[in-house]
Amino acid sequence: MTLSLSIQLVAALLTLASVTAFGNTKLPLDKLKMPPGFEISVWATVPNARSIAQAPGGRFFVGNRGEDNVYLVQNGKAQVFAEKLSVPNGVAFKDGKLYVAQVSEILEFNVPEKVTTPQKPVRTLTQKFPTDASHGWKFIRFGPDGKLYVPVGAPCNICDLGTEYGRIYRIDVNGSSKEVVAEGVRNTVGFDWDPVSKDLWFTDNGRDWMGDDSPPDEINHLTKVGEHFGFPYCHGKNILDKEFGKGKDCKNYKAPEAELRAHVAALGMRFYNGKMFPSEYQGGIIYAEHGSWNRSAPQGYMVGFAFIKDGKITTVKPLVEGWLQVGDAWGRPVDVEVMEDGSVLISDDKAGVIYRLSYKAPKGK
């Protein structure tokens, strides 16, 4: 190897190391638009970053759908926590253990104080789920009741769901219980609980091939166990499906709290319970729109905020937008997580990073 080639190789390796350690500095963050006072930066580089789970001590676990690793991120630096898994999209942390959702099963990992090598699962939970790849990747999260909530999406664009699909379950990780919480849910990849009422709220993706602007994506509110949210019979608040809606009435199903734009692929959502953002954001919902894939003109690719008063959504507005530029998206938000300081992490599986959204009151405010 010649000296000049060696120098070029070293330079290339140093460049790669700097990108890995400090984030992709080439991302056009200046294209992102936010209300006055909000700022966004790259917090960590994580390949195919999807669902985020927070653990004590400033540790965050990040799942993915495009490769087989789960990452541990601390102080903005990522390392492989577990490897050679199968579509490990969903991650949830509780009592010193990490739970990772694959398509048909959930793995349990011990989380040592210091992680030096990739960890192996200590067991597979007894509860099993369908093996269908379509809408099979899962978001999981522990509820206020200590149960783990697990969705099973529709194995299709639109079809008769039968008895296993289109549901949100809750399970006891230390036993064999598996209870249906909600039905008629096409594909939820994000949910959270109202910190006051403890009610479950979740995003849901509408079906495809009903036109560019129909049906809407949804933000839903579960008020009692077993409620049916309409799929595949009814979409949004009052749109009967042209095939499966015959003989049905949308009034017989739970309507969404908010109709979002069609095909925006609303995924991760959290109630904002931090103190950093202005007071009007307290108790509202921050959510990620992954973006459309089959609309003639793309839309979505943003982070929105749903303002809530007296348990009802009053308005929904963009909070961060600009990943979509002239019909081409350079980033796709997936999940959000509120940090202890009140800032918000946003995962992006296309750019392969996690952003940190913060707020500082403009001068004169």
DSSP 181-203: EEES-S----EEE-TTT--EEEE
Please measure the distance between the N-terminal and C-terminal CA atoms of the chain and give it in whole angstroms.
61
Spell out the per-residue pLDDT of the chain, length 365, in tens: 333 333 333 333 333 333 333 345 589 999 999 999 999 999 999 999 999 999 999 999 999 998 899 999 999 999 999 999 999 999 999 999 999 999 999 999 999 999 999 999 999 999 999 999 999 999 999 999 999 999 999 999 999 999 999 999 999 999 999 999 999 999 999 999 999 999 999 999 999 999 999 999 999 999 999 999 999 999 999 999 999 999 999 999 999 999 999 999 999 999 999 999 999 999 999 999 999 999 999 999 999 999 999 999 999 999 999 999 999 999 999 999 999 999 999 999 999 999 999 999 988 76
Residue 356: inside a domain, yes or no? yes
Q: How far apart are CA 148 and CA 318, in angstroms?
A: 30
Q: What is the pLDDT of residues 61-87, one digit of tens each?
A: 999 998 899 999 999 999 999 999 999
Domain assignment of residue 295, given as a range: 270-365
Residue 54: inside a domain, yes or no? no
HSE toward the beta carbon, residue 140, CA cutoff 13 A: 37
Instruction: Tell me whether the omega of the peptide bond preceding residue 130 falls within 30 degrees of 0, making it cis.
Output: no
Contact 64, 352 (CB under 8 A): no
Residue 342: inside a domain, yes or no? yes
pLDDT at 14: 33
Q: How far apart are CA 166 and CA 150, in angstroms?
A: 11
What is the number of structural domains in the chain?
Answer: 1
The count of other CB atoms within 10 Å of the CB of residue 276 is 17
Task: Give the DSSP H or E segment for 93.
Answer: strand 90-94
Residues 6+ apart with CB under 8 A from 197: 311
pLDDT at 365: 63
- The total number of residues written for the chain in this structure: 365
pLDDT at 348: 98
Residue 311: inside a domain, yes or no? yes
For the entire predicted model, the pTM comes to 0.92
pLDDT at 19: 34
Residue 289: inside a domain, yes or no? yes
pLDDT at 67: 85
Residues 6+ apart with CB under 8 A from 99: 91, 92, 93, 106, 107, 108, 109, 125, 140, 148, 173
Residue 294: inside a domain, yes or no? yes
Report residue 158 as tokens: 């639109």
Pairing of strands 328-329, 324-325: antiparallel
Beta strand extents in 231-352 (DSSP E only): 234-235, 239-240, 258-262, 266-271, 285-289, 302-309, 312-321, 324-325, 328-329, 333-338, 344-348
Q: How far apart are CA 120 and CA 117, in angstroms?
A: 10
pLDDT at 25: 52
Residue 345: inside a domain, yes or no? yes
Residue 256 is given by DSSP the state: P
Residue 302: inside a domain, yes or no? yes
